[in-house]
């Protein structure tokens, strides 16, 4: 396992991404307060470059490459949001990017990745290993492999979300009680955990996952990383289908998480529809799981001040139309 990043790494990442990544809003005073009985603050990473928080970690990682590494290019594997984050960071830095993506990834994510200039290599997520494919390509080209979550610089970059949440809540005189984080491999969670451990250790941090891919919930319960079996039921939360928590991210998250929450796909659909109709926000399934946990009472937020990550907004038009057509 590589080194564990710390608060100084997150602060350094914040300086490194300043002027490149957006400082996204922390939306307060919405109908969610009346609905839940709490004070809900929405961290809108849907408004980040490429439509998700992933640009932060990608920029922090790629911006530190030396001239030789930049000339050799980068390789990443992702179902879409990390793919777009790496592709856009690479485009801005003039670095060749190759992204290994599942053939069933949302078309909008795949096309956006190509439009940013990256080469896309498709694979079968059921029968092939994206890690093996990406590692082989990187070794053949002498390129740098940029993991989607199990990397200290990627984690530090995602931790800037936690820095901003703490600063923005303090700016309006609010004391946080909880943060609910959309979770796949655990990189965003780990970054936020590192930031909040230093800035506000009293804040309880919870992961939010799809029910069929609740590997963090099972891992926290057992004390060791649990894998999602390849035959697990399909989920609309394409961004949250990592096979298991990262080795590095779980080492960071396990001792500091308060707990892990999970919601059904129908509950996610309900949160997406509420976000669109009532909050006027476009949120992809994986970006809506934390919101769904709060809306459905998976976490009792009555009388509490709770930050919720809205981590991505990349979804196909047809899927969005289907969500809005539901009663």
Region of residue 121 (phi > 0: left; psi between -120 and 50: alpha; otherwise: beta): beta
Q: What is the pTM of this model?
A: 0.96
Q: What is the pLDDT of residues 105-143, one digit of tens each?
A: 888 999 999 999 999 999 998 888 889 999 999 999 999
* Confidence check: pLDDT of 50 > 90: yes
How does the average pLDDT of the chain come out, rounded? 96
- Residue pair 187/154 in contact (Cβ under 8 Å)? The answer is yes
Q: What is the pLDDT of residues 283-308, one digit of tens each?
A: 999 999 999 999 999 999 999 999 99
Share of the chain above pLDDT 70, in %: 100
pLDDT band at 239 (very low <50, low <70, confident <90, very high): very high
pLDDT, residue 52, reads 98
- Domains 7-51+151-325 and 55-145 are alike in CATH topology: yes
| Architecture of the structural domain at 7-51+151-325 | 3-Layer(aba) Sandwich (3.40)
* Confidence check: pLDDT of 12 > 70: yes
Mean pLDDT score, 57-77: 98
Neighbours of 145 (CB within 10 A): 15
pLDDT, residue 229, reads 82
Q: What is the pLDDT of residues 141-161, one digit of tens each?
A: 999 999 999 999 999 999 999
Mean pLDDT score, 236-248: 94
pLDDT, residue 125, reads 82
pLDDT band at 1 (very low <50, low <70, confident <90, very high): low
Neighbours of 143 (CB within 10 A): 21
d(Cα 138, Cα 283) in Å, to the nearest integer?
Answer: 33
Q: What is the pLDDT of residues 22-33, one digit of tens each?
A: 999 999 999 999
User: In angstroms, what CA-CA distances link 189 with 14, 171, 185, 305?
Assistant: 16, 23, 9, 18
pLDDT, residue 235, reads 94
**Is 3.40.50.1100 the CATH number for 55-145?**
yes
pLDDT band at 322 (very low <50, low <70, confident <90, very high): very high
Closest CA to 236 of 213, 265, 215, 261: 265
Q: What is the pLDDT of residues 195-217, one digit of tens each?
A: 999 999 999 999 999 999 999 99
Mean pLDDT score, 183-201: 97
* Confidence check: pLDDT of 265 > 80: yes
Give burial (CB, 10 Å; 0-12/13-18/19+) of 150.
buried
Sequence spans of domains, the chain:
7-51+151-325, 55-145
Question: How far is Cα of residue 323 from the mean position of the Cα atoms in its chain?
Answer: 21
pLDDT, residue 54, reads 98
């Amino acid at each position: 396992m590589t080194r564990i990043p710390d608060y100084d790494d997150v602060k350094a990442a914040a300086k490194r991404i300043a002027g490149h990544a957006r400082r996204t809003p922390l939306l307060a005073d919405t109908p969610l307060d009346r609905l839940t009985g709490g004070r809900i603050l929405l961290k809108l990473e849907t408004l980040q470059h490429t439509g998700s928080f992933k640009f932060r970690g990608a920029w922090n990682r790629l911006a530190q490459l030396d001239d030789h590494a930049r000339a050799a290019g980068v390789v990443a594997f992702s179902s879409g949001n990390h793919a777009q984050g790496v592709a856009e960071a690479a485009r801005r830095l003039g670095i060749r990017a190759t992204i290994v993506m599942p053939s069933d990834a949302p078309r909008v994510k795949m096309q956006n990745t190509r439009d940013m200039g990256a080469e896309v290599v498709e694979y079968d997520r059921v029968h092939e290993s994206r890690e093996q494919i990406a590692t082989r390509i990187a070794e053949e080209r002498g390129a740098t492999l940029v993991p989607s979550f199990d990397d200290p610089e990627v984690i530090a970059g995602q931790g800037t979300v936690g820095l901003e949440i703490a600063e923005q809540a303090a700016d309006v005189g609010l004391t946080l009680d909880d943060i609910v984080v959309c979770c796949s491999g655990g990189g965003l969670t780990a970054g936020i955990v590192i930031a909040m451990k230093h800035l506000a250790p009293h804040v309880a941090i919870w992961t939010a996952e799809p029910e069929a891919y609740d590997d963090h919930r099972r891992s926290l319960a057992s004390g060791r990383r649990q894998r999602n079996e390849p035959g697990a039921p399909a989920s609309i939360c394409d961004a949250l289908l990592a096979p298991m928590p990262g080795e590095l991210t779980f080492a960071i998250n396990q001792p500091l998480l308060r707990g892990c929450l999970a919601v059904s796909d129908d509950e996610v659909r309900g949160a997406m529809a509420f976000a669109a109709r009532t909050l006027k926000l476009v949120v992809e399934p994986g970006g809506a799981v934390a919101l769904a946990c709060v809306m459905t009472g998976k976490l009792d937020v009555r009388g509490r001040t709770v930050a919720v990550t809205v981590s991505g907004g990349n979804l196909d038009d047809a899927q969005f139309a289907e969500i809005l057509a539901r009663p």
